[in-house]
């Protein structure tokens, strides 16, 4: 049987990095599905890409910049309107615990 491409431990690590709470059932199906997808993607290894530069931008451009001229900000009310938890003029978030 081929080596699994991704272990359960890696699934849990990645879920932590991505801040995604997954149920045990989800973790198991995620592991299986990612394994299948990564196996498929593995065909890329066969391709020789020695000396081939990576493409980050589909259409090459450089030096797109703007002048340092102020533009009116959006009103505070607009920016806070979608806040799930608003505290006066601020967004409020729950207790922050360092990992």
Which residues form the interface with other proteins (CB under 8 A)?
Answer: 6, 10-11, 14-15, 17-22, 26, 30, 33-34, 36-38, 40-41, 43-45, 47, 49, 52-71, 73-76, 78-85, 87-99
Spatial contact of 91 and 80, defined as CB atoms under 8 Å apart: yes
Minimum CB distance to other proteins, residue 43 (Å): 6
Instruction: Using the minimum distance from each CB to other proteins, give the nearer residue, 1 or 21.
Output: 21
CA angle 83, 75, 69 (to 5 degrees): 125
What is the distance between the alpha carbons of residues 42 and 52, in angstroms, rounded to a whole number?
Answer: 18
Minimum CB distance to other proteins, residue 2 (Å): 16
**E strand or H helix that includes residue 37:** helix 24-41
């Amino acid at each position: 049987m081929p080596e699994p491409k991704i272990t359960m431990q890696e699934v849990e690590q990645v879920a932590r990095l991505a801040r995604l709470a997954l149920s045990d059932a989800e973790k198991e199906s995620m592991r299986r599905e990612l394994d299948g997808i990564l196996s498929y993607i593995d065909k890329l290894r066969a391709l020789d890409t020695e000396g081939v530069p990576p493409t980050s931008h589909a259409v090459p451009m450089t030096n797109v910049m703007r002048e340092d001229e102020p533009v009116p900000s959006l009103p505070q009310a607009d920016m806070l309107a979608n806040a799930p938890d608003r505290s006066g003029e601020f967004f409020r978030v729950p207790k922050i615990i360092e990992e």
